[in-house]
Amino acid sequence: MDQRGQISIEYVLLVSIVLIVVVIFGLIITDQSEQNNVASAVQLGASNASANLVFANNSQSPVKVTNVAMTNTGQNINVVVHFSRSVADQQATIIASIVQSLKSSGYTNVSYTTSSATLTTSTNALGTRHIYNITLS
């Protein structure tokens, strides 16, 4: 057996294994990056809305976003925004601010009502990547 032929086969095998590992990690990282971007945009939108509510109405006590919880059930991801106190009266304003923040982050397929928002990502011929259902708590 020729020494050069053996080296090139080993090289091709090594490169192919490294390439497979990189592609697998790339898919995992892309998925987590999307979820992190959505969570950040939701938190920023909710924080901006709660700050604007306090600035517009000095008699109102401050509200703080305490947590953005995501529960993943396959393609559907539920996002619940928790606050330091009840925001039932301001839900529509906060949801509108979250939608504005999502659109500013580059997400265009957003629909919403006064109590929730829905974001669908990567709708193409292959299907939908994720559906985020955003609610306030």
Calculate the CA dihedral of residues 22, 24, 27, 28 and round it to 10 degrees.
Answer: -110
Segments forming the whole domain that contains residue 121: 3-136
For residues 6 and 75, what is the distance between their CA atoms, to the nearest angstrom?
Answer: 45
Residues 8-32, mean pLDDT to the nearest whole number: 89
Query: Which of 64, 79, 74 is CA-nearest to residue 119?
Result: 79
Predicted pLDDT at 72: 87
Assign residue 85 the CATH number of its domain: 3.30.460
Percent of the chain topping pLDDT 90: 57
Quote the number of domains for the chain. Answer: 1
Stronger pLDDT, 111 or 3, i.e. the higher one: 111
| pLDDT tens by residue, 52-100 | 988 888 777 888 999 999 998 888 999 999 999 998 888 999 999 999 9
CA atoms within 13 A on the CB side of 135: 6
CB-count exposure of residue 129 (10 Å: 0-12, 13-18, 19+): middle
Give the model's pLDDT for residue 4.
57
Amino acid at 1: M
pTM score: 0.81
